[in-house]
Structure 1
Amino acid sequence: MKKEFVVIGLGRFGGSIVRSLAEQDMEVMAIDKDEDKVNEFSTIATHAVVADTTDESVLKSLGIRNFDHVIVAIGDDIQSSILTTLMLKEVGAPNITVKAQNDYHEKVLIKIGANQVVHPERDMGRRIANNIISNNVLDYLELSDEHSIVELVANGHLDGNTLIDLDIRAKYGINIVAIKRGQEIFVSPQADEEIKEGDILIVIGADTDINRFEKKALL
């Protein structure tokens, strides 16, 4: 049987989840307070609904307790995230995964009954490393509204420089979590690792910082 999912919050993170589940032919209800975002996913999700998920009666009317899994992907509104999670527990949602903004947010979510709490910006570095090890390399992965993992090709400007020489973390606020060179994979590369032209750099960080690195170091 197909699993049935609810995704609450249709920003870049939640939207990516909806698209991925739909591509795998899963039943997905997409929910957001923003009508424009809901309209964007009306042809992607099985159902797309404009709703205030902090209202218990609304969740009951949508039959949320009958779905297999609810993902709360609300962006920066921590209060709505917490209230939504609390209401989901009240209506009997069986499995709740919630995106946390910080450690304090996570503690509150766990105390009120979230089954799983995810920190996309923190956790995806580990996941991408595991994916690379299994030769499942990503070109681009949205982690949140402001953070991503991007696959970048090193050009001649970087050739021969070590990670120490480039000091990328200090200068740009981003991290190189892996380097792919031909069939070789360097996960969590050492600071003295020398970059070669044509290397594929797996970079994680804020979109603005990654763009700044691309413009200054790769042009």
Structure 2
Amino acid sequence: MKKEFAVIGLGRFGGSICRELSNEGMPVLAIDKNEDRVNNFKNVASHAVILDSTDEEALKEIGISNFEHVIVAIGENIQASILTTVILKDLGVQRVTVKAQNDYHEKILNKIGADRVVHPERDMGKRLAHNFISSNILDYLELSDDHSIVEVKAGKKMVDKSLIDLDIRAQFGCNVVAIKQGKDINVSPQADALLREDDILIVIGADNDLSRFERYLVIDND
């Protein structure tokens, strides 16, 4: 049985989530108080309704509590975002993910019971910054305030060396959890396997340790 999603706020962030979930075949209810935005998603989402999400009775009428996951992607109106989140949790929505505008907004959302708070602009900024530093840093995903996972291309200092030679865990405190070699993904790779030029490593660790790992082994300075 497929999960049912509702997306409240159909701006760039909410609209993107709505389209992607729909493309993956998920049932999605698209909600916004702006009629034009709702009309744009009538042929994208399973259903699209014009609704003020701060109106508790209106949310009850559409059966919002029946949705397993509601994403609150309201733009600049922090007050509406907070009030919507409170109403959703009071109505018993199982999982509520909310877009935060800033750290203060995030603190409030966490206090009122949001299950997950996301900072799409900040998170994308971090990912892009790491890629700007080196084309060998392919992706960067924040797991917590001080731990992340990175996808890196084997730098020149790593080619033709094994994990034993590089001693990444001892030297940097990071763990290589997988290596992509072409279409093959080697999970929990053998420590004596030699790294090739196009290999991609999935590495997890504390942010400070990952930064040292990137500086010394991933970034090619010449």
- The TM-score range, normalised by the shorter chain, is 0.5 to 0.7
Q: CA deviation at 1:87?
A: 1.0
1:133 to 144, 151, 158: 151
Number of residue pairs aligned between Structure 1 and Structure 2: 149
CA 1:134/1:36 → structure 2, altered by over 3 Å: closer, same or farther?
A: farther
The 2-side partners of 1:89 and 1:81 are apart by 12
CA 1:134/1:5 → structure 2, altered by over 3 Å: closer, same or farther?
A: farther
Match of 1:133, SS state, is: strand
- Given residue 140 of structure 2, which amino acid in structure 1 is its aligned partner? A
Q: CA deviation at 1:185?
A: 6.6
Q: CA deviation at 1:118?
A: 0.6
The 2-side partners of 1:57 and 1:134 are apart by 49
- What is the match of residue 146 of structure 1? none
Give the gaps of 5 or more residues in structure 1: 136-181, 196-219
Q: CA deviation at 1:184?
A: 6.6
Between the aligned residues of both structures, percent identity stands at 59
- Given residue 198 of structure 2, which amino acid in structure 1 is its aligned partner? Q
- What is the match of residue 2 of structure 1? 2
Q: CA deviation at 1:120?
A: 1.1
- What is the match of residue 29 of structure 2? 29
- 8 Å CA contact 1:78–1:105 kept in 2: the answer is yes
The answer to whether the aligner puts 1:59 opposite 2:59 as a matched pair is: yes
The 1-side partners of 2:9 and 2:198 are apart by 39
- 8 Å CA contact 2:8–2:71 kept in 1: the answer is yes
The answer to whether the aligner puts 1:183 opposite 2:198 as a matched pair is: yes
The answer to whether the aligner puts 1:96 opposite 2:96 as a matched pair is: yes
CA 1:34/1:129 → structure 2, altered by over 3 Å: closer, same or farther?
A: same
- What is the match of residue 111 of structure 1? 111
The 2-side partners of 1:9 and 1:113 are apart by 19
Q: CA deviation at 1:122?
A: 2.4
The 1-side partners of 2:61 and 2:139 are apart by 38
The 1-side partners of 2:151 and 2:52 are apart by 41
CA 1:121/1:193 → structure 2, altered by over 3 Å: closer, same or farther?
A: farther
Q: CA deviation at 1:132?
A: 7.4
- How large is the RMSD of aligned CA atoms in angstroms? 2.7
Bigger drift between 62-71 and 86-95 goes to 86-95
CA 1:11/1:18 → structure 2, altered by over 3 Å: closer, same or farther?
A: same
Q: CA deviation at 1:111?
A: 1.1
Give the gaps of 5 or more residues in structure 2: 128-137, 142-148, 154-196, 202-209
- What is the match of residue 76 of structure 1? 76
Q: CA deviation at 1:54?
A: 0.2
Structure whose alpha-carbon radius of gyration is higher:
2
CA 1:71/1:116 → structure 2, altered by over 3 Å: closer, same or farther?
A: same
- 8 Å CA contact 2:139–2:152 kept in 1: the answer is no
- What is the match of residue 192 of structure 2? none
CA 1:134/1:44 → structure 2, altered by over 3 Å: closer, same or farther?
A: farther
Q: CA deviation at 1:112?
A: 1.0
The 2-side partners of 1:116 and 1:14 are apart by 15
The 1-side partners of 2:33 and 2:50 are apart by 5
Q: CA deviation at 1:115?
A: 0.7
